[in-house]
Structure 1
Amino acid sequence: MKRPFVFFLIPFIFGILIQYNFNIINKYFFVYLILLILISILIVYFSKNGITILLLVFFIIGVFATYQEMNQSLLSFLSNKNVTIIGKIEDKISESEYGSKYILYIIKVKYKENYYLAKEKIILNIVGQKDLQIGDIIEAEGIIIKPSRNTNPGLFNYRLYLQTKNIYWNLSAKDYNIRLISENNLNLGQKVSNDFRNRVIYVFDTLLNSENSSIMKGMVLGEDSYITKNLINKFRNLGLSHILAVSGLHIGIIFAFFVYVFSFLIINKRISIIISLCIIWIYSYLIGSPISVLRACTMFTTLMLAFIAHRRYDVINGISLAALILLFLNPLMIFSISFQLSFVAVISILIFSKKIEKNFTKQSRLSKLLSPIIAVQLGILPLTIYHFNKVSLIAVLSNLLIIPIIIPISLILGFITILFSIFLSTKLLSVFGYIINILFFYMKVIMNILNKMPFSTLNFPSLSLPEIILYYLMIFILLKIIRLESFKFKIKKIIFIYLLIFILLNSVNSFYNKELVIEFLDVGQGDCALISINNEKHFIIDTGGTVLSDFDVGENIVLPYLFKRGIFSLDGVFITHFHHDHCEGVIPIIENLKINDFFIGYENKKSKIYNLIIDKLNKNNIKINIINKGDKIILDNKVYITVLHPYEKNNLSENNLSLVLLLNYFNKKILFTGDIERDIERELVKEVDYNIDILKVPHHGSNTSSSETFIKALKPEYGIIQVGRNVFGHPNEQVLKRYQNNNVKIFRTDKNGLINIKINPKTIKIYPYFKDTNLLNDIIFKSKVEIFILLIYIILSIIVLHTNRQYMENTLLNETS
């Protein structure tokens, strides 16, 4: 077998994905096991091939390794319990005016006078001001909870991100419930790592200006927490974000530098390589062993050991071995963006570079320099679109101008400065700082010029799996890795038909997808509803927000979700009232999207958030419409909104000034109520003489709203409660019982995540993102187009294999003869 680790890696990954998505090791495990054994026996019997058994073994290992990783925590029985944890601070993640966040390594847990040993890491969220240092042993009392998962499809999954780092729990604690037991409890390795980090921070903060210091700390320590969001976005827009994370590029530069130094000192080349390998592994440990660094170190080690042993080395096989080792240690790394980009980038260089270079009319140093840069950009393009919904059109140019000279010199000078700072004062090293400042000055000049170029970036909706596969297939064909001319005419004809069917299916699906879709986003304790008409017009009612933390709902939830859906402009935005949990999230939307119309029900110039929003709207020349009772807003043919409230301002509270909007579509009625309370409910009941199909439950299910009279008058079939963790007791238990007694089916964003409602002239269908059970028919419905395309692909593949079998046999016979 030419590349055994490639063949073992594929079923291993498949096993990880199957277990993670379908959880086959559960109460039905033995059923699945028997089925798997029967399939295995059939495969082995018909194939009579030992490789098949190995592939099956690695698939099973992938399944069990994932199960073990997802169930290794010993704290599950303490979920949502108030506990006391004694542990050691391992790292500081962030700090703000609201509190701080640390990684805490548990020594023991106390619950109801009993102590439990649990040697694992958790996230410690401290509410209030408490300054702790790495190595502090503390006692913390609080509630242990699971980290938040993505409750809106396609968005960042914080729980999964932490699981890739072997962290499974959060402990939320008030600052007065934290007690310091002892300080500076670090073993030798932790002390060296902490001292290295502190030295890097001190040296760069002393020798470089503030912004350059943050860049250099990111390059050396691999953490973007030192860098402002604005600066990160500048690097990302130019396709340069890999500079700010320690990757194969950085490890390659460091390794090559030390090999050169040792060779210059007339040290035997083998010894130079071994010492340099030790240095990059020590460096990996000192900065916390990020995935990209582990991948690079593993690859360099296998490559160099093969070189020393005079063995032939297959790089793709080596990459597969590195991936297999990392995934065996933590299978959930497969979901890490860093893991995906890191491996795909290297594989792209290996597969595409030479093919791209051959397409240059003249072979030169420039073509050799450009080829790997273009290869990387081509390889990671689908992943970049899927995760970030943005593509830099000048990434090749920016990488060509900055990577070859500025980054290697500044990184090497940075390391020299850190090493010499042990023996020399920072004043004597100021010349190195001066050179780095000059290099970064020119880098930022280049970046500013490139950022000002028109159409430097394009926005895209997230790609589906068939689209990603089709993209790579087209690249392989264009670069002649797959040679169509080697296929018979019949095969070409089948491929053409397949592509035509793929395009037609997507076109037909888009053409007939005529429906009204309402998506109630989970924005925590707040409201936000996205209305899409035939996937052509888009409106938002409220945008969520928060008062009690620095988490930006608009920037982190609403805006990314719109981008994922391919929505880059809005036909209208409605703000029911000016409480933060309904309107704060609109600010980044105003700054990043085109908005045709902005609708409000009143003015409140005493409100800071109102004045801020109006100022942003005016600066962006967005039309502001004040609407009142009786107004009718036409959204599209057969789709309109009737304003039921407010009718006059008087001395109403902010909640009771909420816009009440009745959405009408083919006689289907959906009522949006903001935060109205009983007084306004009574007024509405006097005028509403029709039933409501869907009710957005007023005020997050508060006991100040949803009176018995209101529910009986409207007779809603469904009720949607937008709510998150809160201290107000939302939704109220009596209110929930009231809806239940009136046969109203309730959906809640805190329980169901995003609630997707599809309405056509005949039916209303509701699809919550989370259900109590993940039924097979739900999976089939969500992926019906992909499944249909896959079935067609399989059928066509069988036809291709059948019609081409004789041709391939003749070709092989000719080659062997």
Structure 2
Amino acid sequence: MALAFAAGALLAQGRIPLPAGPLLLAAGTGLILAFLRPGPRVLLTLAGVAGLAGGAAARSDPSVACLTAVASGPAVLEGRFEGVPGGAPTVLAITHGTCAGARVRALVEDVEAPAGRRVRVHGWWRASGDAAPARLVVQRAEPLPERGLAGAALRLRGRALERTGRTFGPAAPVLEALLLARRERLDPDVSDAFARSGVAHLLAISGFHVGVVAAGVYAALLWLPLPYRPRLCAAVAIVGGYVALLGFPGAATRAALFLGVGLLVRLRGRPVASSVTLAGAALVLLVSHPGWVASPGLQLSFAGIAGLVRWRRPLAAALRPLGLPAPLRQALAANLAATVATAPLVAWHFGEVSVVGVPASLVLTPLAALVITGGLVSLGVGAVTSALSAPLIDLTIRGASLFVTLVEAAAALPWASLPVSRTTCVAALVGAGVAQRLTRRARARVRLPALAAAVVAVPLTLPALQGWGGRGRFELHVIDVGQGDAIALRSPRGRWVLVDAGGRGRAFDAGRDRVVPYLRARGVRRLEALVLSHADLDHSGGAAAVLDALEVGAFLGPGVAAPSEPYRDLLRAAAGAGVPWVRAVAGDEIPFDGVRLSVLAPLPEDSLASLNDRSVVLVARYGSFDALLTGDIGVDVERRLVGRVGPDLEVLKVAHHGSSTSSAAELLEGTGPALALISVGRRNRYGHPDPAVVRRLEGVGARVLRTDRHGSIRVRVSPGGTWQVRVARPGSGP
């Protein structure tokens, strides 16, 4: 029922792309109904309809509509932060001001903003370039007076944070994260190490932490003369208070809810399957918040628990022939079960999977449990007597230091994490499903190796299959990076060139947040070339993240007489990575597997022109198909291109985001583009694209597609010259 409700909610919110969504829902429902009796059919149908209704309600919520419509500009709001503000995005529940009642994604850096505290926020609305609600960049947060339980909890949290910092010295940042969900003082490199080593769940307050606290509390309550049921209720109540003290972080809240549902099941006095408990907790969350169904955090939480419920015991039995001690065998089985269950979601959402996660977790999980227990006990004992707490504090500091050292060592291993495309992810799941079906009656020691072999073998055949299926196909991708440019070109042999990498701000990096995930989702590990049309930050800002994440063969750009400091940093980063820099000038050709990629500008005499007019202009020719990529050039440079491109142009990447200073009538009339692509941010402050430019484009018969309305755009060209366009948001009108 929970899955049926989730499917309905996803479909209603447009999270499952049409027409695949209805087909998937219909096929899945048909398969399930084929094996169920009439009673369950009715329940599943009702759950699916309820999910559709809930998802539609979440989608049509006026507060959500408000966030979608809000324009970029200054913001003064009142509300409460949900979770823990820090270097990563968090959520602000708005109580007063624009879009009151909405929950907005907030980017908070160098701002003290306690979770759960009423604050007045001064910042900037940033309209999303991805058809999602706007985000909020927080520049300042002023605490507002608190009363009642919320105020008491915040004061207690503040004192705990102060004591943690004072007590644990240099180990305080990691202990603040482990005990109190505060990560502001944690070194970003340490956070990255946790992610690369596959143990980020040990750092973020999650079900693991709730489980450690619950076990410790229950063990302590065994010393009291309490009956079983009151002791169980007291343990759950204390855990709930701990989660409330932290400000209800998402993963911890879900774990506490699962614990609460499990308590209710136990109090019934009748055995109930763990899967039923899990489904009940999921249903409670989804009914109360249908929009959460698309949250990666929620999906990972329940996938991990489901993996433990379904596979921990079979895996432990399969590992018995290895002769491992029972505790180690159980721990290995639990880690494998959770990792296998969450790996497809991790690959789907983040484009990479940790290779060292399972062995690292085996070592680090018990150490993390000891550090968490030691930290909490040290703080508790220290409140009574400092003499007894001193040795505990010393052991906790040593344990925390060892914990971080081991995490960094695991992250530094070669191939600690591997990029995984969404196609590979789906192929692995298909292979596992087929193997499961074919070996369903085999013994575990036969079935498990068969599953593992299928998961590995099917994705390994993908490059050959994709090369055969996509042989001779050229693709042009305009990646939605908001107000900026990022265009990826795929050759007929599956090699890639990136032209521009989007912008970078204080809290947003288009390269890191949009371009790299987009490319990794398509299996890209190497770029033959990274071409920067010019040095403006909305084109070059994301390039450093691209250089850091992918192998790059060459770095091309125009010569810049006096480059800015960010551009100099970029050149130094490229040199440090061993990527040669090549100055691009008119007449150059970039070899690209049958695609003729020619540089039309800048000319040598353009060295004194403006940055925009010195943009690298490329034309990609594949058979009878031509695409012109114009950077940010103005009308004067455009007029010089008229005789060099020729008529009947298929695709024009409109210059300078559709600014009034570009798209000269002479160029449009001389080339007659069939398709005009505008990379532009939603409700940007520049007013791009200029309405007159759009009219000129439409006046020559061009179909106009814009990333602010249509999302990322892909043009696929066959060897015969026929081409098709696909947009991320079909049906988006003007």
TM-score range, shorter chain: 0.7 to 0.9
Task: Find the aligned partners of 1:138 and 1:634 in 2 and give their Cα distance.
Answer: 55
Asked whether the 8 Å contact 1:646–1:660 carries over to 2, the reply is: no
Query: Which of 1 and 2 has higher RCO (CA within 8 Å, sep 6+)?
Result: 2
Residues 637-669 of structure 1: per-residue CA shift (max 9 Å, x gap): 253324343232442111111112121110321
Q: Are 2:10 and 1:17 equivalent residues in the alignment? A: yes
Which letter maps to 1:17? L
Compared CA separation, residues 171 and 447, structure 1 to 2 (3 A): closer
Q: Are 2:397 and 1:440 equivalent residues in the alignment? A: no
Which letter maps to 2:541? E
Residues 4-57 of structure 1: per-residue CA shift (max 9 Å, x gap): xxxx32322232233223899xxxxxxx9xxx9xx99xx99x998333222222
Aligned with 2:174 (options 212, 215, 218): 215
Aligned with 2:49 (options 57, 60, 63): 60
Which letter maps to 2:484? G
The within-5 A match list for 1:595-744 is 595-685=552-642, 687-724=644-681, 725-744=683-702
Asked whether the 8 Å contact 2:368–2:403 carries over to 1, the reply is: no
Instruction: Give the 3-state SS of the residue equivalent to 2:597 in structure 1.
Output: strand
Give the CA RMSD over aligned residues.
4.0
Task: Find the aligned partners of 2:288 and 2:728 in 1 and give their Cα distance.
Answer: 31
Q: Are 2:552 and 1:579 equivalent residues in the alignment? A: no
Residues 565-604 of structure 1: per-residue CA shift (max 9 Å, x gap): 1101001111111111111211121222211122223243
Compared CA separation, residues 256 and 688, structure 1 to 2 (3 A): closer
Is the deviation greater in 507-516 or in 353-362?
507-516
Instruction: Give the 3-state SS of the residue equivalent to 1:648 in structure 2.
Output: helix
The within-5 A match list for 1:371-770 is 371-404=333-366, 406-420=367-381, 429-463=389-423, 466-467=426-427, 469-473=429-433, 476=436, 482-484=440-442, 510-513=467-470, 514-534=472-492, 536-546=494-504, 549-685=506-642, 687-724=644-681, 725-760=683-718, 761-770=720-729
Instruction: Give the 3-state SS of the residue equivalent to 2:605 in structure 1.
Output: coil
Compared CA separation, residues 535 and 421, structure 1 to 2 (3 A): farther
Is the deviation greater in 377-386 or in 558-567?
377-386
With structure 2 as the length reference, what TM-score do the two structures score? 0.85
Compared CA separation, residues 769 and 299, structure 1 to 2 (3 A): closer
Compared CA separation, residues 649 and 94, structure 1 to 2 (3 A): farther
Aligned with 2:295 (options 331, 336, 354): 336
Task: Find the aligned partners of 2:541 and 2:84 in 1 and give their Cα distance.
Answer: 26
The within-5 A match list for 1:159-238 is 159=133, 184-210=144-170, 212-222=171-181, 224-238=183-197
With structure 1 as the length reference, what TM-score do the two structures score? 0.77
Task: Find the aligned partners of 1:255 and 1:125 in 2 and give their Cα distance.
Answer: 32
Task: Find the aligned partners of 1:612 and 1:224 in 2 and give their Cα distance.
Answer: 28
Residue 283 of structure 1 corresponds to which residue in structure 2?
242
Compared CA separation, residues 252 and 689, structure 1 to 2 (3 A): closer
| 5+ long unaligned stretches in structure 1 | 1-7, 25-31, 111-117, 152-157, 160-168, 487-495, 775-817
Residue 256 of structure 1 corresponds to which residue in structure 2?
215
Shift of 1:297: 2.5
Compared CA separation, residues 530 and 293, structure 1 to 2 (3 A): same
Sequence identity, in percent? 20
Which letter maps to 1:279? I
Task: Find the aligned partners of 1:344 and 1:257 in 2 and give their Cα distance.
Answer: 25
Task: Find the aligned partners of 1:569 and 1:123 in 2 and give their Cα distance.
Answer: 32
Asked whether the 8 Å contact 2:584–2:599 carries over to 1, the reply is: no
Task: Find the aligned partners of 2:308 and 2:288 in 1 and give their Cα distance.
Answer: 26
Instruction: Give the 3-state SS of the residue equivalent to 1:403 in structure 2.
Output: helix
Residue 790 of structure 1 corresponds to which residue in structure 2?
none
Residue 38 of structure 2 corresponds to which residue in structure 1?
49
Shift of 1:485: 7.8
Q: Are 2:329 and 1:367 equivalent residues in the alignment? A: yes
Task: Find the aligned partners of 2:589 and 2:94 in 1 and give their Cα distance.
Answer: 59
Shift of 1:713: 1.9
Compared CA separation, residues 661 and 77, structure 1 to 2 (3 A): closer
Task: Find the aligned partners of 2:652 and 2:254 in 1 and give their Cα distance.
Answer: 52
Task: Find the aligned partners of 1:309 and 1:102 in 2 and give their Cα distance.
Answer: 37
Compared CA separation, residues 23 and 758, structure 1 to 2 (3 A): closer
Asked whether the 8 Å contact 2:86–2:110 carries over to 1, the reply is: no
Residue 258 of structure 2 corresponds to which residue in structure 1?
299
Asked whether the 8 Å contact 2:616–2:631 carries over to 1, the reply is: yes
Residues 676-708 of structure 1: per-residue CA shift (max 9 Å, x gap): 112222322355544422111111111222222
Residue 311 of structure 1 corresponds to which residue in structure 2?
270
Matched residues, number:
705
Which letter maps to 1:392? S
Asked whether the 8 Å contact 1:518–1:532 carries over to 2, the reply is: yes
Asked whether the 8 Å contact 1:223–1:244 carries over to 2, the reply is: no
Which letter maps to 1:460? V
Residues 84-133 of structure 1: per-residue CA shift (max 9 Å, x gap): 9874445696579xxx99825425779xxxxxxx6555567899999999
Shift of 1:438: 0.2
Compared CA separation, residues 627 and 245, structure 1 to 2 (3 A): closer
Compared CA separation, residues 363 and 622, structure 1 to 2 (3 A): closer
Compared CA separation, residues 506 and 731, structure 1 to 2 (3 A): same
Residues 120-159 of structure 1: per-residue CA shift (max 9 Å, x gap): 555678999999997557598x9988x63746xxxxxx64
Which letter maps to 1:62? G
Asked whether the 8 Å contact 1:15–1:60 carries over to 2, the reply is: yes
Task: Find the aligned partners of 1:736 and 1:173 in 2 and give their Cα distance.
Answer: 34
Q: Which has the larger radius of gyration?
A: 1
Instruction: Give the 3-state SS of the residue equivalent to 1:663 in structure 2.
Output: strand
Task: Find the aligned partners of 1:195 and 1:128 in 2 and give their Cα distance.
Answer: 21
Asked whether the 8 Å contact 1:702–1:735 carries over to 2, the reply is: yes
